[in-house]
Amino acid sequence: MAAHGDLARTIELGRSSHRRLDDVLGTRLAAGELDPAATTRLDGWTVGHLLTHLARNADSHRRLIEGADRGDVVDQYGGGLDARDTEIGHGAVRPVTDLVDDVRESSGLLEAVWATTRWLGEGRRARSETIEITRLPFLRVREVQLHLVDLDVGVGFVDLDPLYVRLEVERLSMLWCARQPMGLATLPSPALALAPVDRLAWLTGRADIAGVPAAGIF
């Protein structure tokens, strides 16, 4: 069953996010500026960790979709989060060319599944909650867009796809409001005063706002 409407738009955003990631990695690799051991903006994670995570995340989405196409509800990661983290740790120390090839190949395989799935059924995410398969493409977009910034290879929030920024700010603002006491239906005024990209950085826990508690969503 072909995707239509918002889902088709999200899938195209996923494809363009993969292309952007591929371009950034390719440029850095050609310049000799991609070091697997380099630190990132995520505490305790190197470039190698993040690239391995992006590849295994693509594989996990493909696993969920293929399971749903069979009529099964399968786990995102076989063995759960512990197994996922172990695999990321082992993969992080590979040569940089292997890491980049892994990201490219896993993204391409995921896109192939996007093109053939019926978009029916559910899967079970790493923390055991069940999710509709149609929600997965946006989660993949989120992984790629945010980790492009986290890699600390010259991409900032201001460089992210404007469509992603708009959609994500809307989604996370609604989620933030839903978690607040009754009657609090808008973000704090200092957050609303920010440019959307800066608001996104706060909502995703990647920036602070003076006098405002952390968003606490991630």
pLDDT digits (tens, 9 = 90+) for 100-123: 999 999 999 999 999 999 999 999
Task: Write down the pLDDT at residue 2.
Answer: 62
Length of the chain counted residue by residue: 218
Across 137-164, average pLDDT: 97
pLDDT in tens, 188-212: 999 999 999 999 999 999 999 999 9
Residue 122, helix vs strand vs coil: strand
Task: Write down the pLDDT at residue 1.
Answer: 55
- For 5-155, which CATH class? mainly alpha
Band (128; pLDDT cuts 50, 70, 90): confident
Task: Write down the pLDDT at residue 109.
Answer: 98
Across 46-65, average pLDDT: 97
Angstrom distance (rounded) from CA 21 to CA 102: 12
DSSP 8-state secondary structure symbol assigned to residue 95: -
> Is 40 a residue whose pLDDT tops 60?
yes
pLDDT in tens, 170-182: 999 999 999 888 7
Task: Write down the pLDDT at residue 4.
Answer: 64
Task: Write down the pLDDT at residue 183.
Answer: 63
To 5 degrees, how large is the angle CA 89–CA 90–CA 94? 110
Across 153-168, average pLDDT: 97
Domain positions in the chain: 5-155, 157-218
Q: Whole-number mean pLDDT of the chain?
A: 94
CB-count exposure of residue 38 (10 Å: 0-12, 13-18, 19+): middle
